[in-house]
Chain A
């Protein structure tokens, strides 16, 4: 029943998206797309705003909450997570964490791994919704773009990681940008005149670092499955023949950082071109996608010239990927206010952060709003922290203390974690 309703939702979604794409008026299109996530979602599976979930444990929720012990689920495979598991924590074996989340994790989450001696993520509505749609999507069409947005600390990155874990378990090829904003901000000296395009700039250090992670994540695909379609010449003496595995191209970038940015372009082009072959499912995950559409970077040339983002080759390659002119895959993105450089960041909404140019570039996409904790999720988080000895004060464990913490943190996951850090 869930499947059929979801397909219905998808159909409506696509007609909406088509309508949105035709519509030139930005504001109306925004409103149209917006309803996909909030209004059109069928009432049964993900409840729109209420916390009750239509499941067998609906009967349990009438009991007083403090007695709840079900903040954990034994279902550790995110592929099987459904609305039934909302608000519960699932555990990832510690040994798997470096392979599942080599990059792109939230720093505060990663910090807690050590004291907790356990890695767990709460199953939340946005992630489950997106995974549900991904399960029933038609992969012969161009990829659906999912864009998560929400206030600071509301758990966008963790939801993205949750989805990526399920993609990892399904054996997808993952192209992951850990944080596009930090590329603009955190490198002051990493630029070089582009080898292939005059007037543009390469970022050798960042590119080779990205390639390293990309290689270790998808080594299996690069070694055997994907072969180069034509011959690439890197310099007078170095070239990659057609028909060689894509790994040799990646290794070229790692051995010669000068070519690293061009290598990214080649790799992404090959992945795009061969995506319809059906050998792999391509998942493009981008955190803080607004970084790619920002105006300025923090990189200053010796003359004082600030390099704009549209002169960076690496951003250019990934932006091309975001156009979605390929098949058999999905694009999952978040927009983020953190680390915005010289960009408006007082609002968290996509149109504001992406600005008109970026919005039109990504259009049509499915916006998914990541809310703060609901009552059930807050209770579950509280129970988890108490069970892990992270909340120690006796007063905090009382009903009054919980209300107090809820008020202080506004049920925002990030600020709740910060407040609990010293309790």
Chain B
């Protein structure tokens, strides 16, 4: 199970199966089914407890064991996805990587031997670092007390942090001029965030500042 959660990025909550109360609309599977593990290595070295009695869900189409697959990239594509056009969005993502790479590689090939080691050229590393730099660690939750709404600072979970970072980057892209293509917008945002600059990182700092200002309401938090 540990492997499967890693590859899906979902929580592995097992619910009690009650035939009368199980919702059928949103799940094709009973809770006894486990998600498939998409990792060739684990099948080869026998680390996976292959047990006939445990039923396994059908494999998902867009998760592969190829080295080009990355869970975080996959998540970003899903967040960016609109109207089910995942293929288009994946292409946008690839194009983004290409733009980032050609920009950085050009710098690399022009730089002197001394500067070369300090330049990061891998687009995927830049993407990861950019998302990491955009993640807020604290957020605000609205709580109603005595007819008044209070913005109460609260720590965020990992999933929420990651989602907010991705959402802010995409919202920042929406503000850019329409004539600019999406891959270019994204490439610019990632490179900015990678260097700890840009509006998204500023937005993160703004949120942190707001939390700091509202620390007087922290006692409203009961959880």
Is the Cβ of A395 less than 8 Å from the Cβ of B67? yes
Is the Cβ of B66 less than 8 Å from the Cβ of A388? no
Q: Within 8 Å CB of B123, what residues of A?
A: 392, 422
User: Taking A395-B67, A401-B67, A404-B66 as contacts, is the C-beta distance between A389 and B102 under 8 angstroms?
Assistant: no
Partner of A404, one of B67, B93, B121: B67
A404 CA / B65 CA spacing, docked (Å): 11
A388 CA / B104 CA spacing, docked (Å): 12
Nearest CB of chain A from residue B191's CB, rounded to whole Å: 15
Closest to A395 in B: B67
Partner of A117, one of B68, B97, B106: B106
Is B98 located at the chain interface by the 8 A CB criterion? yes
Tell me how many residues of A have a C-beta within 8 Å of chain B: 19
User: Taking A421-B94, A422-B97 as contacts, is the C-beta distance between A392 and B122 under 8 angstroms?
Assistant: yes
A401 CA / B93 CA spacing, docked (Å): 21
A392 CA / B67 CA spacing, docked (Å): 12
Nearest CB of chain B from residue A95's CB, rounded to whole Å: 16
Q: Within 8 Å CB of B94, what residues of A?
A: 421-422
Is A390 located at the chain interface by the 8 A CB criterion? yes
Partner of B102, one of A114, A118, A396: A114
Is A43 located at the chain interface by the 8 A CB criterion? no
Is B110 located at the chain interface by the 8 A CB criterion? yes
Closest to A419 in B: B68
Partner of A389, one of B66, B67, B93, B121: B121
Closest to B119 in A: A389
Nearest CB of chain A from residue B65's CB, rounded to whole Å: 10
Partner of B110, one of A111, A117, A395, A400: A117
Is A232 located at the chain interface by the 8 A CB criterion? no
Number of A-B residue pairs with CB-CB distance less than 8 Å in the complex they form: 52
Q: Within 8 Å CB of B106, what residues of A?
A: 114-115, 117
Nearest CB of chain B from residue A397's CB, rounded to whole Å: 10
Is the Cβ of A116 less than 8 Å from the Cβ of B67? no
A389 CA / B102 CA spacing, docked (Å): 10
Contact with B along A295-331 (1 / 0, CB 8 A): 0000000000000000000000000000000000000
Is B105 located at the chain interface by the 8 A CB criterion? yes
Is the Cβ of B105 less than 8 Å from the Cβ of A390? yes
Is the Cβ of B110 less than 8 Å from the Cβ of A393? no
Q: Within 8 Å CB of B68, what residues of A?
A: 393, 422-423
Is the Cβ of B109 less than 8 Å from the Cβ of A115? yes
Contact with B along A95-134 (1 / 0, CB 8 A): 0000000000000000100111110000000000000000
12 pairs from A and B in contact (CB 8 Å cutoff): A117-B106, A117-B109, A388-B109, A390-B101, A392-B122, A393-B68, A393-B124, A395-B67, A396-B67, A421-B94, A422-B93, A422-B98
Chain A contact residues, CB within 8 Å of chain B: 111, 114-118, 388-390, 392-393, 395-396, 400-401, 404, 421-423
Q: Nearest 10 CB-CB pairs, A to B? A: A395-B67, A422-B94, A422-B97, A115-B102, A392-B122, A117-B109, A421-B98, A115-B105, A115-B106, A389-B105
